[in-house]
Structure 1
Amino acid sequence: MRYLLPSLILVALLAMLMLRGYVHSEILADHRVRPPAATDQVPDRILDGGPVIDARAATPAKSLDIPDRRLVLTFDDGPDPEWTPKVLDKLKEYDAHGVFFVTGTMASRYPALVKRMVDEGHEVGLHTFNHPDLSYQSSSRIDWELSQNQLALAGAAGIRTSLFRPPYSSFADAMDNKSWPVARYLGSLGYITVLDTIDSEDWKRPGAAAIVERATPKGDRGSIVLMHDSGGDRSQTVAALDRYLPQMRAKGFTFTNLTEALGAPSAHTRVTGPELWKGTAWVGAVTLSDNLTDALVVGLSVIGVLVLVRFGLMLVLSFAHARKVRRRDFRWGEEITEPVTVLVPAYNERECITNTVRSLMDSDHPIEIVVIDDGSTDGTADIVDALRLPNVRVVRQENQGKPAALNNGIAHARHDIVVMMDGDTVFERSTVRELVQPFGDPRVGAVAGNAKVGNRDRLIGSWQHIEYVMGFNLDRRMYDVLRCMPTIPGAVGAFRRRALERVGGMSEDTLAEDTDITMAMHRDGWHVVYAERARAWTEAPESVRQLWSQRYRWSYGTMQAIWKHRRALVERGPSGRFGRVGLPLVSLFMVLAPLLAPLIDVFLLYGLVFGPTQKTIVAWFGVLLVQAVCAAYAFRLDRERMRHLISLPLQQILYRQLMYVVLLQSWITALTGGRLRWQKLRRTGVVEAPGAVPAPRGRDADAHAGVGSGAGSRTGADADRRPVA
């Protein structure tokens, strides 16, 4: 059930985009135009007759002429949002009526214009849905074109019509053996085929004067005049009407609807019941899809700007950070040599705890180790006790959650600097030393280390490796320079004990206690910095389900932390600075941008299906290239092998969608006031510090620890804790 609502939202979004593509795209259109064919099968009375063909009755089809001094102005291919209103304005100004042959695609998109045509007394006819040459189409395709066109009319104006003009049609004498069967078939369906007597050729844009000249009939002859209100720039058509209407009226001509000119009943029939409901629903769905797509385009523009701004900041500021910390004369202050306390919160860490503790024992900085066993049921504490290592203490407590375990560890710490790590993480020999050196600056209250993915050989691990190096560590360099570091990673971080006490220690208010405490540090005026050489190796989730659980908690916890510290936006001093710099950046880059990022891939699919395909592909690869450049730079800074970047394109296609759904679910949980519980992730204990001597496994590990076998484990940040609101 937890996937249902996000999935429904995604399906609805996809359906709206497909509807939009269906209505707007040329993919369903057939622009073939059949060359003239023989005419021996067309009756002479049709070839020599008038521009209106009525083949509805069982009797032979007949053609009809327009009476003298009557002009029927017809406009094809609309309605158009720019030109149709101007054409209607001119007709209204000169009290003239005409016939608008609308396409289903345009009528669906601009229903208000169709309604205005009907309300102002004009007639409306069908011009198919996608404007194909019907002589190429099967009867089923013709039926579809007509029914969709009528559906749009029903939704737009509550009518159906009996008038039809075939696309690419001409005069009656142009009817041939290919188009005549179509006219007869249309007649059998109840339609009158309307051709033209005069072609103004306004589609050629010859100028207003030329259009007026070509649209003027000879003598007093009644005519059907062909013009267009869509399909391109129709400014010349509008200008021509301003001359043509008064000139023809001065010559004694009357501008009228087709049925009025023929003395026939109106071509319009009001629709009711299911037919009206379906039409209304159709037009409403098209309007919604258009509005939604417009919003998505705006969103895509926003995310494009955000991506470029973020990557630009990351590259420039990361370069500045790297130059600063790698200068030979750079120092945080006096070298930190005094001992520090390392806190290891542990819950059911049987598979990992030995590697974790032994990696700390190899540290080149003096430390004491406090393992806080948070009510483990797998003998984690017994394993640590059985190791009998110096300077290692085990503090046992009932299961109360990671924040409570850390606070308990702080209370037992003997030193002024406290290092925190997860129970499934291993440190390199120099990690603690590198991590605590920034405390040589008395303004520094906390330090973020460099968390690395140890199990990167599998696909999901490789994707997370890219994310950690690029998305986390490159970000931290940027945030370090801007002095608004959002998160001290639970896997590797250090705090000044006095700073922790001033902000009240680790809080249980959110599911992201690491982000919460970091924001609290900023608001209290402490500097939070990044120590890139303080590397810690952690085991990332190896299944999509576990990754979902972890990132769902991270996303929701980050949103909780942002909301908790929202008052920083209006406060003064250090808190206000963080609120007006840090919170907006975190909100944009960690909450908003990931929510909109999949639009890049959504529009890739849309463009591949509905076009423009080439521009879409170029744009998508352009974004990928920018990301690849940033990723390569981040890997260079971290001295990582570039081979893992091979999976970057696949990561962007699949991993980004997963993160989007996770964040969407987090938003839903937050907006509905839901509660999220800690979720346990299974670990294998395969991660060791580079160059470390492998710890015993299986029975050897049990013998070494002096206890029986146990179950899997998890990262300390992902323990199965008590519920947190």
Structure 2
Amino acid sequence: MGRHIARPDPRAHWLLLLLGILALFAALSFHGYVSGVSGGTGRPATGGPAARPATDAPAASESGAAGGPVLRFDGAAPASRNMPGRTIALTFDDGPDPVWTPRVLDVLRRHGAHATFFVVGSRVHAHPELVRRILAEGHELGSHTFTHADIAALPDWRRDVELALTRNAIAGATGRHVTSFRPPFSSTPAALDAAGMGALRDAAETGHFAVLADLDTRDWQRPGVDRIVASATPERGGGAVVLMHDGGGDRSQTLAALDRLLPTLSKQGYRFTTVSAGLGAARSDLPAGGAAELRGTALRYAQTAAGWVSAAMAVLLGVALVLGLLRLAVQLVCARIHLRRVRRRWQRPVEILDSVTVIVPAYNEAANIAATVRSLVGSHYPALEVIVVDDGSTDGIADIVESLGLPRVRVIRQANAGKPAALNTGIRHARADLLVLVDGDTVFQPDTVHRLVQGFADPAVGAISGNTKVANRRRLLGRWQHLEYVIGFNLDRRMYDVLGCMPTIPGAIGAFRREVLVDVAGVPTDTLAEDTDLTMSVLRSGWKVIYEESAVAWTEAPSSLRQLWRQRYRWCYGTMQAMWKHRGALAERGPGGRLGRRGLPYLMIFQVVLPLTAPAVDVFALYGLLFLPWSQLALAWFGLLALQALTAAYALRLDRERFGPLWSLPFQQVLYRQVMYLVVVQSVVTALVGNRLRWQRVTRTGEAAVLVDAGVRPAS
């Protein structure tokens, strides 16, 4: 392979990725904050919301106020006021609601009544037209916090934020700001405790006065129309502030009660008006300045954008989940089909006695080369030769192989030109018609070659993939790669075999007909994933490519994160090169068409697109930890983990592996996959900016060779 001249790797994309993740998390968090609204009066409790209990809590009158529902703390001492006789100030909480608020307004207009609406700031942003209609029809606005939060339970800074955001939201929608305030989860003055009183005092410091209620209809409980009407009717002709709701749930009973209450009490001489008009005071909503309107408008756009982001993330998560489950279902079905095929094949084994040449390209593989060559020569196959191509090694590979003195082994030396060039050199010098291509760190079992070439009994088969297994799996990183090979790679290969679209024969173990390699002009040298590029070329030449799971080759996986990153970076980048190179397969027929319309879309979705979105999905998961019920998240996560564990157990059983590594699966999901996703990000950025990636070789320790050469099955 010719040497690539590479510009410095891009680094700014990591900063952009970090900023993008932070921006996404900020948008989701803002959406979580503004949408964390609970409808109805009171805290959530068993059987529904409930107002703040008054037990062991001093009433408003005991705190210096006169006990009326309208409380002011802007004077030398707290003061309260009551509605005059036969004056009812209807108040509605938790809106605006796109369904119920217009209906409430229609009823009020039909009966010529006015009311005060205590609106939730985040809902004002969602429905600004309803707030404008409230004012246009002569009603009054008040604040009900931004997220329907229990301000008595909030820190001081959060109280200020809730009130300021609500004031800005109303200013942005209407050009006015409000001074009246009703705290969520409140009812009558008698229900105020010390914490609630303190919260009202804090609100007064930001220019608000409090409006509680004389009569709480508790309509959010839907007690029935008669009960609501009775709860809203003052005794003996008195006046009252009446608490009702136009949002937060089904308000059909509220509408029916309102339609009955208004004409009934009007005939008794009651008037229905706003809180300020009822007290004979000036309106509580005042003109806002331009700065407040601008802040409110900007906040509304931010909330809208955050809602779009959250909705998009929910769709993305749903699509990813559906695709993942479909992939799993197809993999499992294909695994069963492939298993039956393999059983039928080995019920009638065909003795392939054609000579086989095994080609081993090697560059600085001194740690493993002796074990590799000895395992090949020890194969239970009668007609086999081994060619080791020393690709300009500096660690004496050729001398090591020659010193073994093994029969049927040839060594070819050449100047360093890369793995594809070394493979092509071996192909030119091979004598057999069946060629097995092997990495220099791979160790075969005695029956591997025999099992690998059985598929050539079918004259349509041009190439066969073997089963690569991780030998050095004692450490955690090795266990994770072992699981990845068994669960991911091998399940995929069974599926590809059944669907006729195998995109990759691994460089560690693959068999080819010589005529196939002649058809495709040898191993390609213009991509970094030469094994994928070659396999795709074989399919596009009209040959079948199959998977022989019983042909096992042991390989040494990267033993450090740095080495793993370099290997997977090359694999991912090279695979994208090969996909782009063979995009013409989309319009072909036969095996090439199956590659183009099955294999390439699968690779694009599951090896490029979904991994690119994984950081966003992880941010969404973090958002869920902060804003969603942990019980639901735990159920979903453990459910998916259990499904993955069952799949992993099945895959391990198919590969005749022990179940021991399954304990590391949760850690693999949390840690290992993040590295794999970031590899994809790096590879895509490298491709987009036009950089060329140099060949990167993984440093070998010889651990796999020691384990397998000693006849010890790697521990699980």
TM category, shorter = 0.7 to 0.9
2-structure distance, mates of 1:630, 1:75: 54
1-structure distance, mates of 2:527, 2:410: 28
Aligned to 1:225: 242
Q: Does the alignment pair 1:353 with 2:372?
A: no
Partner letter of residue 499 of structure 1? Answer: V
Aligned to 2:565: 548
Following TM superposition, by how much is the alpha carbon of 1:192 offset from its aligned partner in structure 2, in angstroms?
1.8
Q: 1:54 aligns with which of 48, 72, 77?
A: 72
Q: 1:77 aligns with which of 91, 94, 100?
A: 94
2-structure distance, mates of 1:150, 1:411: 81
Partner letter of residue 165 of structure 1? Answer: R
Following TM superposition, by how much is the alpha carbon of 1:602 offset from its aligned partner in structure 2, in angstroms?
5.6
1-structure distance, mates of 2:318, 2:664: 26
Instruction: Pick closer, same or farther for the CA change 1:126–1:421 going to 2, 3 Å.
Output: same
1-structure distance, mates of 2:622, 2:193: 42
Aligned to 2:648: 631
Following TM superposition, by how much is the alpha carbon of 1:454 offset from its aligned partner in structure 2, in angstroms?
1.0
Q: Does the alignment pair 1:525 with 2:545?
A: no
Q: 2:430 aligns with which of 386, 400, 413?
A: 413
Q: Does the alignment pair 1:341 with 2:357?
A: yes
2-structure distance, mates of 1:114, 1:482: 59
Q: Does the alignment pair 1:587 with 2:607?
A: no
Q: 1:33 aligns with which of 37, 43, 52?
A: 52
Partner letter of residue 517 of structure 2? Answer: L
2-structure distance, mates of 1:308, 1:587: 17
Q: What TM-score, normalized by structure 2, do the two folds share?
A: 0.84
Q: Does the alignment pair 1:469 with 2:469?
A: no
Following TM superposition, by how much is the alpha carbon of 1:418 offset from its aligned partner in structure 2, in angstroms?
1.8
Aligned to 1:325: 342
2-structure distance, mates of 1:53, 1:299: 49
**SS of the residue aligned with 2:491?**
helix
Contact conserved, 1:46 with 1:173, CA < 8 A, in 2?
A: no
Aligned to 1:658: 675
1-structure distance, mates of 2:301, 2:614: 28
Give CA deviations for 1:60-114 in whole Å, capped at 9, x if unaligned. 4444455778754422123445444554566677786543323345456666755
Contact conserved, 1:6 with 1:665, CA < 8 A, in 2?
A: no
Give CA deviations for 1:135-192 in whole Å, capped at 9, x if unaligned. 5666555434433444554566665421101233334566676655554443343212
Aligned to 1:716: none
Contact conserved, 2:358 with 2:437, CA < 8 A, in 1?
A: yes
Contact conserved, 2:53 with 2:191, CA < 8 A, in 1?
A: no
Contact conserved, 1:154 with 1:276, CA < 8 A, in 2?
A: yes
Which has the higher mean CA deviation after the structures are superposed, 62-71 or 670-679?
Answer: 62-71
Contact conserved, 2:497 with 2:547, CA < 8 A, in 1?
A: yes
Instruction: Pick closer, same or farther for the CA change 1:693–1:202 going to 2, 3 Å.
Output: closer
2-structure distance, mates of 1:481, 1:652: 28
Aligned to 2:4: none
1-structure distance, mates of 2:311, 2:669: 24
Contact conserved, 1:600 with 1:620, CA < 8 A, in 2?
A: no
Aligned to 1:721: none
2-structure distance, mates of 1:200, 1:671: 63
**SS of the residue aligned with 1:46?**
coil
- In structure 2, stretches of 5+ residues that fail to align are 1-10, 45-50
Instruction: Pick closer, same or farther for the CA change 1:252–1:446 going to 2, 3 Å.
Output: farther
Partner letter of residue 354 of structure 2? Answer: E
Contact conserved, 1:324 with 1:330, CA < 8 A, in 2?
A: no
Aligned to 2:47: none
2-structure distance, mates of 1:350, 1:269: 83
Contact conserved, 2:360 with 2:437, CA < 8 A, in 1?
A: yes
2-structure distance, mates of 1:103, 1:679: 58
Following TM superposition, by how much is the alpha carbon of 1:490 offset from its aligned partner in structure 2, in angstroms?
1.1
Q: Does the alignment pair 1:558 with 2:575?
A: yes
Q: Does the alignment pair 1:270 with 2:319?
A: no
Partner letter of residue 435 of structure 2? Answer: V
Following TM superposition, by how much is the alpha carbon of 1:456 offset from its aligned partner in structure 2, in angstroms?
0.3
Aligned to 1:699: none
Contact conserved, 1:41 with 1:176, CA < 8 A, in 2?
A: no
Partner letter of residue 568 of structure 1? Answer: A
Partner letter of residue 55 of structure 1? Answer: F
Partner letter of residue 178 of structure 2? Answer: T
CA RMSD of aligned residues (A): 3.7
What is the number of residues matched between the two proteins?
689
2-structure distance, mates of 1:21, 1:216: 39
Following TM superposition, by how much is the alpha carbon of 1:325 offset from its aligned partner in structure 2, in angstroms?
1.5
Following TM superposition, by how much is the alpha carbon of 1:544 offset from its aligned partner in structure 2, in angstroms?
1.5
1-structure distance, mates of 2:688, 2:109: 51
Identity of aligned residues (%): 53
**SS of the residue aligned with 2:703?**
coil
Contact conserved, 1:30 with 1:131, CA < 8 A, in 2?
A: no
- In structure 1, stretches of 5+ residues that fail to align are 696-725
Task: Map 1:547-696 to 2 at 5 A.
Answer: 547-595=564-612, 605-688=622-705, 692-693=709-710
2-structure distance, mates of 1:152, 1:13: 23
2-structure distance, mates of 1:422, 1:158: 73
1-structure distance, mates of 2:411, 2:136: 84
Following TM superposition, by how much is the alpha carbon of 1:448 offset from its aligned partner in structure 2, in angstroms?
0.5
**SS of the residue aligned with 1:225?**
strand
Which has the higher mean CA deviation after the structures are superposed, 557-566 or 277-286?
Answer: 277-286
2-structure distance, mates of 1:487, 1:170: 69
Instruction: Pick closer, same or farther for the CA change 1:113–1:497 going to 2, 3 Å.
Output: farther
Partner letter of residue 365 of structure 2? Answer: E
2-structure distance, mates of 1:88, 1:524: 73
Task: Map 1:238-317 to 2 at 5 A.
Answer: 238-240=255-257, 257-259=274-276, 262-273=280-291, 279-280=296-297, 282-317=299-334
Instruction: Pick closer, same or farther for the CA change 1:144–1:511 going to 2, 3 Å.
Output: same
Partner letter of residue 35 of structure 1? Answer: A
Instruction: Pick closer, same or farther for the CA change 1:133–1:680 going to 2, 3 Å.
Output: same
Contact conserved, 1:448 with 1:488, CA < 8 A, in 2?
A: yes
Instruction: Pick closer, same or farther for the CA change 1:527–1:23 going to 2, 3 Å.
Output: same
Contact conserved, 2:33 with 2:147, CA < 8 A, in 1?
A: no
1-structure distance, mates of 2:584, 2:107: 58
Which has the higher mean CA deviation after the structures are superposed, 469-478 or 354-363?
Answer: 354-363
Aligned to 1:362: 378
Task: Map 1:172-183 to 2 at 5 A.
Answer: 179-180=196-197, 182-183=199-200
Contact conserved, 2:43 with 2:185, CA < 8 A, in 1?
A: no
1-structure distance, mates of 2:478, 2:557: 6
Aligned to 1:712: none
Instruction: Pick closer, same or farther for the CA change 1:573–1:596 going to 2, 3 Å.
Output: same
Following TM superposition, by how much is the alpha carbon of 1:449 offset from its aligned partner in structure 2, in angstroms?
0.5
**SS of the residue aligned with 1:688?**
helix
Which has the higher mean CA deviation after the structures are superposed, 664-673 or 424-433?
Answer: 664-673
Following TM superposition, by how much is the alpha carbon of 1:329 offset from its aligned partner in structure 2, in angstroms?
5.8
Partner letter of residue 466 of structure 1? Answer: L
Following TM superposition, by how much is the alpha carbon of 1:428 offset from its aligned partner in structure 2, in angstroms?
1.9
Instruction: Pick closer, same or farther for the CA change 1:166–1:544 going to 2, 3 Å.
Output: same
Following TM superposition, by how much is the alpha carbon of 1:234 offset from its aligned partner in structure 2, in angstroms?
2.0
**SS of the residue aligned with 1:326?**
helix
1-structure distance, mates of 2:692, 2:664: 35
Partner letter of residue 46 of structure 1? Answer: A
Instruction: Pick closer, same or farther for the CA change 1:377–1:174 going to 2, 3 Å.
Output: closer
Following TM superposition, by how much is the alpha carbon of 1:630 offset from its aligned partner in structure 2, in angstroms?
1.6
Instruction: Pick closer, same or farther for the CA change 1:125–1:504 going to 2, 3 Å.
Output: farther
**SS of the residue aligned with 1:586?**
helix
Following TM superposition, by how much is the alpha carbon of 1:645 offset from its aligned partner in structure 2, in angstroms?
1.6
Q: What TM-score, normalized by structure 1, do the two folds share?
A: 0.83
